[in-house]
Structure 1
Amino acid sequence: MKMARPQDHGFDPDRLDRIGAWMNRYVEDRKYPGSSVVIARGGEEVYFNATGLRNVETGLAFERDTVARIYSMTKPVTSVAVMMLAELGLFHLDAPVSDFLPAFKSMTALVPGAERMDQVEPCATPTLHHLLTHTSGLSYPFNPGLLSRAMDERKIIFGPKQGLLAGMADQVAELPLAFVPGSRWEYSVAIDILGRVVEVVSGQTLDQFFKEHIFDPLGMTETAFSVPEGTGDRFASLYTPLAGNAMALNASRDGGGETLRLTDSAGASPFENATLFSGGGGLVGTIDDYLSFAEMLRRGGSSPNGRVLSRKMVDFMRMNHLPGDIASMGPQSFAEQPMNGVGFGLGGSVVLDPARAGTLGNVGDFSWGGMASTFFWIDPVLDMSVVFFTQLSPSSSYPSRAELKTLVHGAIAE
């Protein structure tokens, strides 16, 4: 990507420097081990900064080519894959998922107020659209509720070393839904199920489909489900301030006051040789690779090497597909974004009202984040893409995303 002077794209360079100071404070306060951020406007890079360490124990710097776990920032990639297949006329979004995964036939949902897993009622099978918008009735093990506890007991989390995607998807189908599809919003493994749909419809494994149809055209040479060969020691370590599992959102902080407890590192990470390709959270990659993906969405589906999706399809993905905002659909789950004043498209959140969302931004901002506190957003009003990388789980630990959006908007002079 071409570099440009910030002032040529309406930024105040002195105010942009505040971002670096903010990143340094997070490192100095031992909130994040290290981080990087890149800002592009009008297709030209106007700012990049990296600070801190990718590996605290060995003192290796967090750099531009650091390979990081992007976790749920995989979801927009999988959603793009689904829409690519839809553009080929291979299915309609109102198709029930059982058309592709027969294990999802004859579904049941927990009755309202259920106290046991056998308190269920028959319900319709979720459609592909339900899955794309997290209104399917599926859940995550770290959410509250009966279904989540059952998933946690069975370890249904789509981890990189949990066998194959097909087998894990079948395990999901064995459980009832948390609610009747379409009646609520709940963050879930739905996009993992869609990853399996991509495999069935395309005849390729998910890693093959991503590489051939998305990564290669976008030049994303260092993004994959396993740490790419040749990246050496560039794979960052993962840290948590929690005393227990880094994904246990309600766990307490470490009693010893350690805010950067090592939880996954190079040499012993399941991401170094993944067998299960999680479309909901399995990718690792570099910040420049993800910027290429974000820029494709900003440009309406085009890339320097050709078109990935039609402009109309990308516009469709970036619309709000809920009746109102997320908060209006009674969510009881964790989410990577605010729920008030924010809707949900296909693959990411959509800002409906910045004031109600409580964060600076513009109507139509399209974004999502990952459990390791990574984040991206596309601003159609400012013609801007921003990607932030760090490696601390869970992402709910600190309000860094809202703070970063405020810093970026505060640096815009015109």
Structure 2
Amino acid sequence: MTDQINTYATRRIFMGGTAALGASLALAPSFAWAKSGPQAEVWPGVTQFTDGYVRSGKLAGAIAAMGLGQDALQFVARGQRTFEGAPMDGDSLFRIYSMTKPVTGMAVMALIDDGKLKLDQPLADILPKYTSMQVQRVPDGSITDLVPAQRPITIRHLLTHTSGLGYSIIQNGPIKTAYVQAGLVPGQISRLPIAELFGTRNTTLTLTQFADRLADMPLVYQPGTKWSYSVGLDLLGRVIEVVSGQTFDAFLQERLFDPLGMTSTWFQVPQDQVRRMTTNYGIMQGVLLPLDPGTASVFAMKPAFPFGGAGLVSSPRDYDRFLRMLLGYGKFEGKRIIGEEAVRIGTSNLLPAGISTVGTFATGGGFGAGGRVGLGVEAGTFGWAGAAGTMGFVDMKRGWRGGFYAQYMPASAYPIQGEFPQVAMKDAIAALGVNA
């Protein structure tokens, strides 16, 4: 049973159903938003969708968080934080996992905006241990049969998963084993033994140790040549520390969370707020088993270091404040949080020339500062999903934002992250009287 679960789950830990999310947003028609009709009637499909998953018992609870422009957030909440807990609401706390990546990405863009970093600056300028990297001759093959890197890793590469770095949840063979043995697993699932069935092992490294040990690992691909999901956003946490002179979590607090009023977003949930935690369920042969109980969550414990790729807990209300800032091109409630140009660049396609994401988790789209960027008919969309059933995205061209929050693993067990954006888009088209 363990092998079967690992095959099914490990490649989805900390990434969620982002491929399906991208495919859904690709169906988005081009239209301009207009305000009309009672707000309570804007999201009937979203309501039915959310209600169906909870009524069927597939989820203990779920909440959709939707907004047009900078208008007030609207919630469709169903069920409970746990099967026997308090009702789900906009202040319930969720493990957002890889939805952390756009937050880290925009923190990097803030430093670029400050003139302290450059998009195409070599990583070795900040972390000299990355000066002479070696690359596997055969990806996921021997870790001793190596060739020199043909170009330096840059900040752009780290933001867009084109650095050549690996990920223990993606790689196979000796490189995966080496990552795990070195403690290069930047994430956590539970303090319960059941978490081992999902193929993870909690690291004990500091962020400095993580960055140093990672530099000793061979790259899987030549930098700037291939999109491959990686620990690049976690490594950027260390870059932020060195460049800013602050700890990574302190920088996020000062530059993003405090100015945005994000009072419910943490790497470690305070003890007096644990009561708001949802329970994360592992789906095994169709049965939901408590994987990380809300009241005993591993996220109430101090992590080894703040994981910039998958470490945050947040509420739908809090994360929407981040999305609203993006939709406002760096402004939030009249305050400038990040420069407009930095947001425009961060939510645009930053992939190096010639790189395609066809057949990857980015589903044929572009990639920006930690999130997928829509191309073609879906131009203007930016967002990413999380491993435990969450997603958050903005449509900057058309002016709307949305999120869906549930807690189950693996995210691919249900088609939620593929279906939800389509349902939300249909609701918007119908309610606002626009033509598809």
TM-score by length of 2: 0.81
* 2:430 paired with 1:405: no
* 2:27 paired with 1:36: no
Residues 59/198 of structure 1: CA separation in 2 closer, same or farther (3 Å cut) = same
User: What are the residue-to-residue correspondences of 1:138-217 with 2, within 5 Å?
Assistant: 138-146=165-173, 147-159=175-187, 162-217=204-259
Residues 402/45 of structure 1: CA separation in 2 closer, same or farther (3 Å cut) = farther
Contact 1:97–1:127 (CA under 8 A) maintained in structure 2: yes
For residues 372 and 283 of structure 1, what CA distance do their matches in structure 2 show?
12
What SS does structure 2 have at the residue aligned with 1:61? coil
For residues 396 and 155 of structure 1, what CA distance do their matches in structure 2 show?
26
1:386 equivalent in structure 2: 402
* Shift of residue 154, structure 1, vs aligned partner: 3.6
1:82 to 108, 112, 117: 108
Residues 79/15 of structure 1: CA separation in 2 closer, same or farther (3 Å cut) = closer
Q: Show structure 1 runs of 4+ deviating over 4 A.
A: 9-15
May I ask how many residue pairs the two structures share in their alignment?
380
Contact 2:183–2:204 (CA under 8 A) maintained in structure 1: no
For residues 106 and 364 of structure 1, what CA distance do their matches in structure 2 show?
37
2:268 equivalent in structure 1: 226
Q: Hey, which of these two has a bigger chunk of helix by percent?
A: 2
* 2:74 paired with 1:47: yes
1:282 equivalent in structure 2: 311
* Shift of residue 262, structure 1, vs aligned partner: 1.3
For residues 300 and 39 of structure 2, what CA distance do their matches in structure 1 show?
41
* Shift of residue 374, structure 1, vs aligned partner: 0.7
2:335 to 283, 299, 306: 306
Report the residue type matching 1:302 in the other structure.
K
For residues 68 and 42 of structure 2, what CA distance do their matches in structure 1 show?
16
Report the residue type matching 2:382 in the other structure.
F
2:297 equivalent in structure 1: 269
What SS does structure 2 have at the residue aligned with 1:166? helix
What SS does structure 1 have at the residue aligned with 2:343? helix
* Shift of residue 53, structure 1, vs aligned partner: 2.1
For residues 34 and 167 of structure 1, what CA distance do their matches in structure 2 show?
38
For residues 324 and 295 of structure 1, what CA distance do their matches in structure 2 show?
32
Contact 2:274–2:294 (CA under 8 A) maintained in structure 1: no
* 2:67 paired with 1:25: no
* Shift of residue 229, structure 1, vs aligned partner: 4.6
Of the structure 1 ranges 159-168 and 19-28, higher mean CA displacement relative to structure 2 is found in 159-168
2:367 to 331, 344, 355: 344
Residues 159/407 of structure 1: CA separation in 2 closer, same or farther (3 Å cut) = closer
* Shift of residue 31, structure 1, vs aligned partner: 2.9
Residues 287/346 of structure 1: CA separation in 2 closer, same or farther (3 Å cut) = same
Contact 1:133–1:346 (CA under 8 A) maintained in structure 2: yes
Report the residue type matching 2:131 in the other structure.
K
Contact 1:142–1:152 (CA under 8 A) maintained in structure 2: no
Residues 202/113 of structure 1: CA separation in 2 closer, same or farther (3 Å cut) = closer
Contact 1:41–1:382 (CA under 8 A) maintained in structure 2: no
What SS does structure 2 have at the residue aligned with 1:37? strand
Which structure carries more relative contact order (alpha carbon 8 Å, separation 6+)? 2
* Shift of residue 148, structure 1, vs aligned partner: 3.1
1:3 equivalent in structure 2: none
Residues 104/38 of structure 1: CA separation in 2 closer, same or farther (3 Å cut) = same
For residues 334 and 269 of structure 2, what CA distance do their matches in structure 1 show?
24
For residues 139 and 113 of structure 2, what CA distance do their matches in structure 1 show?
40
Unpaired runs of at least 5, structure 1: 1-5, 243-253, 355-361
What SS does structure 2 have at the residue aligned with 1:346? coil
Unpaired runs of at least 5, structure 2: 1-32, 189-202
* Shift of residue 200, structure 1, vs aligned partner: 1.0
Residues 224/46 of structure 1: CA separation in 2 closer, same or farther (3 Å cut) = closer
Identity rate of aligned residues, in percent? 36
Which string of whole-angstrom CA distances, capped at 9 and with x for unpartnered residues, describes residues 10-56 of structure 1?
Answer: 68855622212211221233333211111111211363111122122
1:327 equivalent in structure 2: 357
